[in-house]
Amino acid sequence: MTPVRRQYLKIKNAYPDALVLFRLGDFYETFDADAHLASRELEITLTARSMGKGLKVPMAGVPAHALESYLARLIKKGHRVAICEQLADPAASRGLVERDVVRVVTPGTILESALLEQNANNYLSAVVEDGPVAGLAYVDITTGEFAVAQLDLERLLPELERIAPAEILIPAGDALPNWVGGNGSGAGPRYPGPDGGEPYRHGYPLTQLNPATFDLDLAKEALLSHYGIRSLESFGCESLPLAVRAAGAILDYLGQTYKTGKLRLAALRVYSSAAYMVLDSQTRRNLELFQAGRWENQRFSLLTALDATRTAMGGRLLRRWLGQPLLQLEELEQRHDAVEHYFTDAFRRSDARSTLADIADLERILGRIQAGTVAPRELIALKTGLEATTRLAATLEGEGAAPVAWLLRQLAPAPDAVTLVTEAIAPEPSGSVGEGNIIREGFSPELDQLKAASREARGFIAGLEARERERTGIRSLRVGYNQIFGYYIEISKSNLGQTPADYIRRQTLANGERYIVPELKEYESLALNARERIHEIEQSLFRQVCGQLGCHAEAISRLAAASAVVDVFSALAEVAVQHNYVRPRLGLDQAINIKDGRHPVVERTLGAGVYVPNDVQLSNDDARIIIITGPNMAGKSTYIRQTAIIVLMAQIGSFVPAAEAQIGLVDRIFTRVGLQDDLTTGQSTFMVEMLETAAILNQATPRSLVILDEIGRGTSTYDGLSIARSVIEHLHNDPRLGCKSLFATHYHELTELAQTLPGVRNYSVAVAEEEGRVVFLHRIVAGGADRSYGVHVAQLAGLPRAVVNRAWEVLEELERPGAGNRNGSGGRRVGPATLQLPLFQPEQPVTAAVLALDIPNLTPLEAINKLYELQGKARNPDEKFG
Ligand code: ADP
Ligand code: MG
């Protein structure tokens, strides 16, 4: 076995679960099973290499300069990759070059911009559970954001869905935690489906770690030493052991994946998930917050509709805000004030927005500075961006700017960082660090001298050929260079007679001779030495500058964060102006009154002036539940979603698409969509629908807003109607609930509930009938629909004339009084007369039996027996009474 082979095996043994990319000269090579895997996944040639006597090892490699793109493919396919570098210069070392793994790249620990999505954070998260409580930590190493929470287990899932981590660390154990769900089996990471969305449908991107990694004492120690502090009190997590353990696991993992250099993270932020509105995955999907339908990508999500941000940082922040609507009135007023600040003054707004265009991704540049992977050009972008923040601050000054003074304070300039980059880095750095074009002239006299010397030497050599031709009169005289002799002067055979006396012969060729002159060698070594020194000095200066910038990290990240916030505010203002939104009036009372509300996404897909605005009035008393009926395609779903979206927009700080809106803050928005309307859950079942409905009934509070769309549709008409009806009754009657609900249904029979339930209001979508054809007006009017217009819609959809006519006939027959007898031999048929489902119908045998009971004279046992009997009868009406 060759020494390199032994070295490789030793390293591979330490990283059994990673694909090891082993640096050999200009390539990263993989061996053995890794080589087979790499050649398959990267579509590169599988070769073999002799690594000892009679030992041929499978090998596949990628060129070192193309590492990033290959890395991206491996990570996307769910592999962990260990990068093993040469730790010494192979030219300078004797024997075997020292090698070791410098980094393990995993989905949650990527820094390379090519692998990252600009407008989304890339989170690494850790979860540890104890009984009903969980500790959750997450970090984005590209921005330094680091947050922890300790929360009830039932809140964990929505929280993980919000964060959507690229990787989740959990303690390895016999069983995977419950929240992993049915897909969680076996070890190893699991990744989103090929459509790239909804990872939780397919399982979690889990990485299981040794449980000791989650040890409390180790975690505390790791946190204290990472931040160089004496107590966790300053973070406010000393009494949150699970949160600390999760954070500790993250630090440990980062230590193992980033072997060289310590990553610097922002101060640990302890948060409570109770401070934000919970948005479960159903709601995120039904309201199409981040993704429209699964196949439509993100083209028409609410996020894209609102995202007029100019910076990547602002884009990420808006995404975070949309996932975490606020519950605090003061905080929200503050946001609305800031949006208004840019809304009312077009000059301010366009100033801010054009300034923001000059601000690069300061967060991620800072991250790369601290990780030691920043490119010189990015430092110039950093400087330009920091300078621009001063202009940005100016847009927060002036008349009426008092409400945004808090933001202005955060934009206090960081002149030292700007000065440092301006003085140290060339205005247009080019090439890689060490080639001499990165550090600005005048920053280091030593470097400038070396560069001058190098220039002079190269100038001398460059001019030598012409000078010597002149001096010797040999027109074919040539100055060349090779590895062995360095620079030389070559004279061809026919001209050898004219060779000057001071030429020293070095090499004889078939058709000439090569010479040197002492002066040439002097300049040559001058140039070589200068180049080496330039390389060393420039690299060390660059590292030094980065180190110094690291000292300004706090100021830089403050400015980055503040720019992101200004970006979001001015973007929301821009959208509000362009699309005619208004500032909502927020309150703690529980009423929601929206005048001329619109659906922000649908209105835009329809084009100008087409969308029909509608009002909504909800309260916690007499208009607690609104039932919206109307034919298919009338606009019911759009209307109820629009209400939820307007509330949500108000609670992230945005203006809203309405003429006027008064929003009593909502603690949670629930949405459920009946089976047939829910395009995205092809494999969902009626059971799931019911489970989800049950979850609402269990979790809603008087401050919640519940959106139910065609609930009960996933089963037969009778079951569906019964369930829909009992859900409404429960929402209405349960004293714990009293939440505001919007219920869209094509079961017009449900409108009767308003007669018995005082908190129920009926609305319907107006339709006009013109010559037997239905015309959708999309206007919501008081009162329920009297029918479903199903046949109208079928006709509109282009069903053949004959079929439509026959449907009219059948409908007429069904609607004749007395038709559609439920107890008839025809089985369950749908007709208005039987759809009302009175609990007690006098002609029913069960009813008759109940009425016949002599209750005072029944023993308890007899009563129970009777109940069983009645139940049996009710289940099977055709059976005779015993
Ligand atoms: P329903 O739930 O009643 O079947 P939808 O809400 O799905 O109907 O709406 C059907 C279509 O009608 C939408 O895709 C949209 O194009 C249009 N629509 C809905 N509401 C409006 C409105 N207020 N103004 C204009 N068009 C609307
Ligand atoms: Mg609908």
Whole-number Å distance between alpha carbons of 152 and 131: 9
Q: Give the nearest ligand 1 atom to 610 CA.
A: 25
If you average pLDDT over every residue of the chain, what do you get?
85
Distance 669 CA to ligand 1 centre (A): 21
Give distance in angstroms: CA of 585 to centre of ligand 2: 29
What is the per-residue pLDDT across 497-549, written as a single tens digit (0 to 9) for each? 889 999 999 889 898 999 999 999 999 999 889 999 999 999 999 999 999 99
CB 634 near ligand 1, within 6 Å:
yes
Looking at residue 293, what is its pLDDT? 61
Helices 32-42 + 67-76 axis angle, to 10:
90
For the chain, the residue count is: 882
The bridge status of strand 704-709 relative to strand 740-744 is parallel
633 lines ligand 1 (CB under 6 A): yes
Which ligand is closest in space to the CA of residue 640? 1
CA distances for 563 relative to 226, 356, 395, 421, 835, angstroms:
27, 8, 12, 20, 59
d(CA 547, CA 545) in angstroms, rounded, equals 5
Which residues lie closer than 8 Å to 331 by C-beta, 6 or more apart? none
pLDDT tens per residue, range 105-146 = 999 998 887 788 888 899 999 999 998 899 999 999 999 899
Q: Indicate whether residue 124 lines ligand 1 (CB < 6 A).
A: no
What residue owns the CA closest to ligand 1's atom 23? 612
- Atom index in ligand 1 nearest the CA of residue 779 equals 23
Task: For 223-292, give the DSSP string.
Answer: HHHHHT-S-GGGGT-TT-HHHHHHHHHHHHHHHHHB-SSPPP-PPPEE--GGGB-B--HHHHHHTTSS-S
- Ligand closest to 631 (CA) is 1
Per-residue pLDDT averaged across 485-506, rounded? 90
* Ligand 1 atom 12: residue of nearest CA: 635
pLDDT class for 202, splitting at 50, 70, 90?
very low
| Residue of 594, 605, 611, 633 to test ligand 1 pocket, by largest number of atoms within 8 Å of CB | 633
**Which pLDDT belongs to residue 388?**
97
CB of 485 closer than 8 Å to CB of 506: yes
User: What pLDDT is attached to residue 680?
Assistant: 46
Q: What is the model's pLDDT at position 316?
A: 96
Contacts of 282 (CB under 8 A, 6+ apart): 670, 671, 672, 673, 692
DSSP code for 329: H
Residue with tokens 């505001």: 740
**The dihedral formed by the CA atoms of 226, 232, 234 and 239, expressed in degrees to the nearest 10:** 150
- pLDDT given at position 878: 59
Task: For residue 130, give both structure tokens.
Answer: 């104890």
- Interval 75-100 mean pLDDT: 86
Tokens for 546, please give them. Answer: 């980065």
Q: Is the CB of 514 under 6 A from ligand 1?
A: no
Cβ(479)–Cβ(486) under 8 Å? no
651 lines ligand 1 (CB under 6 A): no
Whether pLDDT at 187 is above 60: no
State whether the beta carbon of 636 lies less than 6 angstroms from ligand 1. Answer: yes
Report the chain's C-alpha Rg in angstroms: 37
What would the mean pLDDT of 552-578 be, rounded to a whole number? 96
Distance 716 CA to ligand 1 centre (A): 25
Provide mean pLDDT across the span 725-737.
80
The answer, yes or no, to whether residue 676 has pLDDT greater than 50, is no
Weakest-pLDDT range from 256-260, 542-546, 555-559: 256-260
763 lines ligand 1 (CB under 6 A): no
pLDDT score of 829 = 37
CA of 614 to the centre of ligand 1 (A): 12
638 lines ligand 1 (CB under 6 A): yes
pLDDT in tens, 386-397: 999 999 999 999
Q: Is the pLDDT confidence value at 188 over 70?
A: no
Of 290-294, 309-313, 353-357, 761-765, least confident by mean pLDDT is 290-294
Would you state the pLDDT for residue 46?
93
- Give the residue from 398, 435, 622 showing the smallest Cα distance to 531: 435
| pLDDT above 60: residue 197 | no
Which of the pair, 791 or 588, is modelled with greater confidence? 588
- The Å distance, Cα 581 to ligand 1 centre, comes to 20
- 823 and 877 Cβ atoms separated by less than 8 Å: yes
- Per-residue pLDDT averaged across 557-561, rounded? 95
Tell me which residues have their CB within 5 A of the ion that is ligand 2. 637
Identify each DSSP E strand in 350-437 by its residue range.
none
Burial of 882 (0-12, 13-18, 19+ CB in 10 A): exposed
- First-to-last C-alpha distance (Å) of the chain: 90
Ligand 2 centroid to Cα of residue 280, in Å, is 21
Judging by beta carbons within 10 Å of its beta carbon (0-12, 13-18, 19+), is residue 4 exposed, middle or buried? middle
- When pLDDT is cut at 50, 70 and 90, the band that residue 233 belongs to is confident
The number of the ligand 1 atom at minimal distance from the alpha carbon of 746 is 3
pLDDT at 578 over 80: yes
With contact defined as beta carbons under 8 Å apart, do 151 and 159 qualify?
Answer: yes
User: Is the shortest distance between the CB of 642 and ligand 1 below 6 Å?
Assistant: no
Q: Distance from the CA of 638 to the center of ligand 1, in angstroms?
A: 5
Among 143-147, 671-675, 743-747, which range has the highest average pLDDT?
143-147
Q: What is the 3-state secondary structure (H, E, C) of 14-75?
A: HCCCCEEEEEECCEEEEEHHHHHHHHHHHCCCCEEEECCCCCEEEEEEEEHHHHHHHHHHHH
Ligand 1 atom closest to 599 (CA)? 23
What's the confidence (pLDDT) of residue 572?
A: 98
Q: How confident is the model at residue 623 (pLDDT cuts 50, 70, 90)?
A: confident
Lowest mean pLDDT among 324-328, 614-618, 621-625: 621-625
pLDDT of residue 198: 37
Give per-residue pLDDT as tens, 748-767: 888 888 888 888 999 988 88
Distances (CA, A) of 304 to 316, 318, 319, 571, 604: 12, 10, 10, 12, 11
Percentage of the chain lying above the pLDDT 90 cut? 52
Q: Which whole number is the average pLDDT over 570-592?
A: 96
The CA 510 to ligand 1 mean position distance, Å, reads 89
User: Given this model, what pLDDT does residue 605 score?
Assistant: 86
319 lines ligand 1 (CB under 6 A): no
Q: Which helix (H) or strand (E) holds 171?
A: strand 167-171
Query: Which residue of 596, 638, 748, 776 sits with most ligand 1 atoms within 8 Å of its CB, as the best mutation to test the pocket?
Result: 638
Tokens (6 digits) for 323: 């996932």
pTM of the model: 0.81
Does residue 612 line the site of ligand 1, with CB under 6 A? yes
